[in-house]
Structure 1
């Protein structure tokens, strides 16, 4: 039963991560990492497919083996975080929401900084 729940969670997380590829508001990487974690506990074939994937595999392998992110991916993440939050702050009309978004952006950037750079 536990393997089935992990497989379902991994599949839902994978779908959410794939949606995040085209929607800039939705992050891709955390959902793919969650999928890899769930698949490692439920379905070895899906886990192998994910870690050997042309686009997603290297980042997942870096995280699973070294608990870190390559410098190039980290720089790209910084740019995308700042860009997406800047657009959101510009578009939102409410001042309190702008302030909240700014604090969220700072917190996310701080968290990214704390992750090991490979």
Structure 2
């Protein structure tokens, strides 16, 4: 059983993966640069990877960058 709902069209999946990669890069840059917000970009990355690739989605959820930024935010709500 799938935990995320991937898009069935391959072109749309690649678009989601591209947007996810760009938002990941911007979110990672936001760790160093105070003008870029990290958490919203990582949340967008999470959404796009869930729609584009289940494997990349799981890898991102288990990454230390996600755990340090968004994971801490989710725990502290």
- Structure 1 length normalisation: TM-score? 0.50
Q: CA deviation at 1:55?
A: 3.6
Q: How far apart, in 2, do the equivalents of 1:44 and 1:57 lie?
A: 18
Show CA shifts across 1:57-95 (max 9, x none): 362593xxxxxx61xxxxxxxxxxxxxxxxxxxxxxxxx
- Higher radius of gyration, 1 or 2: 1
Match of 2:3 in 1: none
What is the alpha-carbon root mean square deviation over aligned residues?
1.9
Q: How far apart, in 1, do the equivalents of 2:33 and 2:55 lie?
A: 28
Q: Mind listing any 5+ residue stretches in structure 2 that lack a counterpart? A: 1-10
Match of 1:40 in 2: 50
Are 1:49 and 2:59 an aligned pair?
A: yes
Q: CA deviation at 1:54?
A: 2.2
Q: How far apart, in 1, do the equivalents of 2:14 and 2:64 lie?
A: 26
Kept after mapping to 2: 8 A contact 1:50/1:57: no
Match of 1:78 in 2: none
How many residues in Structure 1 have an aligned counterpart in Structure 2?
65
Q: How far apart, in 1, do the equivalents of 2:32 and 2:55 lie?
A: 26
